[in-house]
């Protein structure tokens, strides 16, 4: 099958798990005999940025261009609220970027399109794809269609005591009814956000198939009236292939903790460092591996100071990340926002590394409390510290969780994920 993948970011440009999965999927589809091309963005590089650059990368034709807007997507942190509002208005109806993608698709002539995050390209793309009568499968990775920030916070997070609303609802997935309790801060349901959702709901109406890695994320969209005309499917994100040898034995002594992710407030990294610095224990170390933009790097360095229990790494390869996870006894996911399906959890699983994570969003769907890891209320220092100390005081808990995690890490691999997506598209085309 001739398939085009559209992703707002694609290596070497990246910020999180979505673009990593997009790049891994592209390579796997090639390995399975499909013809693959990729359309993505690129930062501004003088006047030549107005032209589409096409290069062959790992047997994949990758088309890159600068989506004309007031700034590049990865540079949002450098701009104030006013410019961000202008940027989001353009992003909704960026006909210039959508037109450029449409011209590429008309030239490539794929049988189907698989899209990932489109924030920063144009939300008009589903309608541009429909105008070419192409089959379109869209994968959800966050709540960017529900809120311009792409973030929701749970009621119990430490974000300022906003009021919250809760509702019990049911939704249909794979032919069955499933219950879900939605708890969303009322600040996310104001008039501006509702207008934003009305627009994005209409823009994404033409999508044929929508895939989400968690029931939580799909429920958040369905409860707001999204994808009524689309086939919906929950497929867990695949366990990524290792770029480094699998760890066999992790001797316990000093307990190695690891954080892999963005250096952003909502990811909980500053909360994590502040919480750990209050500990008087010296039987742990935390390695922080920065992924994506490094706008807050100086702040993090200053916060850590001369505390030797912390190690910082930036601009590392995937093989290095795999090695760091393999050498760790516990991965920490301290997010203050509602997470979908953090890639670090699946990466830790394949390395046999237990996880201590915030209990919010889609994370509980990836975790078995006390079996492959532990969860705590987002922003709760007391609960986090209690569970971490329990692991430090009882190394056998970490060893048992590591053994279980490694034995059960192959349930969702990249090859199966690729086959399931192409099977959905083939059935749609028949």
State the pLDDT confidence band at 154, using cuts at 50, 70 and 90: confident
Stretch among 145-149, 255-259, 301-305, 347-351 having the lowest mean pLDDT: 347-351
Residue 264 clears pLDDT 70, i.e. is over it: yes
Stretch among 153-162, 228-237, 248-257 having the lowest mean pLDDT: 153-162
pTM, rounded to two decimals: 0.85
Is residue 68 helix, strand or coil? coil
> Comparing 33 with 44, which gets the higher pLDDT?
33
Nearest to 235 by CA among 421, 364, 34: 421
Q: What is the pLDDT of residue 429?
A: 60
Neighbouring CB atoms inside 10 A of 42's CB total 18
If you compute the radius of gyration of the chain from its CA atoms, what whole number of angstroms results?
Answer: 21
* Bond prior to 420 in cis (omega within 30° of 0): no
Residue 162 clears pLDDT 90, i.e. is over it: no
Q: What is the pLDDT of residue 34?
A: 96
Residue 266 contacts residue 361 (beta carbons within 8 Å): no
H or E element that contains 389: helix 381-393
Q: What is the pLDDT of residue 386?
A: 96
What domains are defined for the chain? 2-238+412-429 (3.40.50.2000), 255-407 (3.40.50.2000)
Query: What single-letter DSSP state applies at residue 410?
Result: -
Neighbouring CB atoms inside 10 A of 169's CB total 12
Residue 250 clears pLDDT 90, i.e. is over it: no
Q: What is the pLDDT of residue 169?
A: 41
Cα-based distances in Å from 304 to 183, 296, 300, 310, 380? 34, 13, 6, 7, 20
Residue 245 clears pLDDT 60, i.e. is over it: no
- Mean pLDDT for 240-262 is 72
Q: What is the pLDDT of residue 278?
A: 94
**Which residues, in sequence order, are bridge partners of residue 311?**
287
Could you give the CA distance from residue 43 to residue 156 in angstroms, rounded to a whole number? 37
- Mean pLDDT for 80-88 is 90
Q: What is the pLDDT of residue 18?
A: 85
- Mean pLDDT for 32-61 is 90
State the pLDDT confidence band at 118, using cuts at 50, 70 and 90: very high
**Which residues, in sequence order, are bridge partners of residue 259?**
288
State the pLDDT confidence band at 246, using cuts at 50, 70 and 90: low
How many whole angstroms from its chain centre is CA 1?
Answer: 26
- Mean pLDDT for 240-248 is 57
Residue 313 clears pLDDT 80, i.e. is over it: yes
- Mean pLDDT for 268-295 is 91
Residue 106 clears pLDDT 90, i.e. is over it: yes
What percentage of the chain exceeds 90 in pLDDT? 57
Q: What is the pLDDT of residue 319?
A: 84
Average pLDDT of the chain?
A: 86
Could you give the CA distance from residue 379 to residue 358 in angstroms, rounded to a whole number? 8
Q: What is the pLDDT of residue 83?
A: 92
Query: What single-letter DSSP state applies at residue 265?
Result: G
Q: What is the pLDDT of residue 173?
A: 47
Q: What is the pLDDT of residue 412?
A: 66
Could you give the CA distance from residue 150 to residue 148 in angstroms, rounded to a whole number? 5
- Mean pLDDT for 197-224 is 95
Residue 177 clears pLDDT 50, i.e. is over it: no
196 Cβ neighbours under 8 A, 6+ residues apart: 147, 148
Residue 249 clears pLDDT 60, i.e. is over it: no
Residue 78 clears pLDDT 60, i.e. is over it: yes
* Token pair 């996870």 in the structure block, residue: 325
Q: Which ranges of 223-327 does DSSP label H, i.e. alpha helix?
A: 269-277, 297-304, 318-326
Query: What single-letter DSSP state applies at residue 307?
Result: -
Q: What is the pLDDT of residue 355?
A: 94
């Amino acid at each position: 099958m001739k398939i085009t993948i559209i992703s707002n970011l694609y290596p070497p440009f990246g910020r999180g798990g979505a673009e990593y999965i997009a790049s891994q999927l592209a390579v796997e589809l090639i390995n399975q005999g499909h013809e693959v091309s990729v359309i993505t963005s690129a930062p501004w590089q003088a006047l030549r940025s107005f032209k589409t650059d096409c290069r062959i990368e790992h047997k994949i034709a990758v088309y890159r261009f600068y989506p004309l807007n007031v700034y590049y997507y990865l540079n949002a942190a450098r701009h104030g609220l006013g410019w961000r509002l202008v940027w989001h208005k353009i992003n909704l109806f960026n006909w210039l970027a959508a037109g450029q993608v449409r011209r590429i698709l008309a030239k490539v002539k794929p049988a189907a399109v698989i899209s990932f995050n489109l924030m920063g390209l144009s939300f008009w793309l589903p309608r541009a794809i429909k105008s070419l009568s192409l089959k379109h499968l869209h994968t959800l990775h966050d709540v960017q269609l529900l809120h311009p920030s792409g973030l929701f916070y749970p009621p119990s997070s430490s974000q300022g005591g906003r009021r919250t609303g809760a509702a019990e609802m049911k939704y249909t997935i794979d032919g069955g009814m499933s219950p879900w309790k939605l708890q969303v801060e009322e600040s996310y349901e104001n008039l501006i956000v509702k207008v934003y959702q009305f627009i994005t709901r209409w823009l994404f109406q033409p999508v044929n198939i929508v895939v989400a890695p968690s029931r939580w994320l799909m429920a958040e969209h369905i409860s707001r009236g999204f994808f009524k005309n689309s086939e919906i499917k929950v497929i867990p994100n695949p366990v990524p292939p290792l770029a480094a040898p699998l760890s066999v034995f992790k001797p316990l002594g000093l307990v190695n903790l690891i954080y892999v992710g963005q250096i952003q407030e909502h990811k909980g990294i500053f909360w994590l460092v502040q919480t750990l610095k209050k500990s008087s224990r010296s039987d742990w170390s935390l390695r922080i591996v920065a992924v994506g933009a490094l706008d807050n790097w100086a702040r993090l360095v200053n916060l850590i100071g001369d505390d030797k229990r912390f190690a910082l790494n930036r601009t590392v390869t995937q093989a290095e990340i795999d090695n760091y996870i393999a050498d760790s006894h516990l991965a920490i996911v301290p997010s203050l926002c509602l997470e979908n399906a953090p890639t670090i959890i699946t990466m830790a699983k394949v390395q046999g590394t237990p996880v201590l994570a915030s209990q919010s969003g889609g994370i509980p769907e990836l975790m078995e409390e006390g079996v492959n890891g532990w969860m705590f209320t987002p922003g709760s220092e007391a609960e986090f510290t209690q569970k971490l100390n329990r692991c430090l005081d009882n190394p056998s808990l970490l060893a048992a969780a590591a053994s279980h995690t490694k034995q059960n890490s192959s349930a969702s691999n990249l090859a199966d994920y690729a086959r399931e997506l192409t099977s959905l598209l083939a059935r749609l085309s028949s």
